[in-house]
């Protein structure tokens, strides 16, 4: 297997994990939305390591 194939497999695996994470976090957000608005407002997933950007990411990126 060539390096480019390994890289592509790694990217695809990461995207699959990311998609699952987003599904779980969306479910968690929905739960807090109907039960505790304060926790809903605090329930965020950052798309940067620093947590500076609060933009919602809906699709994994390669």
What pLDDT does residue 51 have?
Answer: 55
62: tokens are 């390669």
Global pTM value: 0.56
Q: Write out the two tokens for 20.
A: 């699952």
The span from the CA of 59 to the CA of 53, in Å, is 16
C-alpha 1: how far from chain center: 29
Q: Please state, rounded to an integer, the average pLDDT across all residues of the chain.
A: 78
What pLDDT score does 13 carry?
A: 94
For 50, phi and psi rounded to 5 degrees?
A: -75, -20
């Amino acid at each position: 297997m060539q390096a480019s194939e390994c890289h592509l497999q790694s990217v695809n695996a990461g995207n699959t994990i990311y998609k699952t994470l987003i599904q779980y976090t969306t479910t968690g957000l929905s739960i807090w939305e109907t039960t505790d608005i304060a926790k809903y407002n605090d329930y965020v997933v950052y798309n940067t390591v620093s947590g500076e950007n609060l933009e919602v990411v809906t699709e994994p990126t390669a």
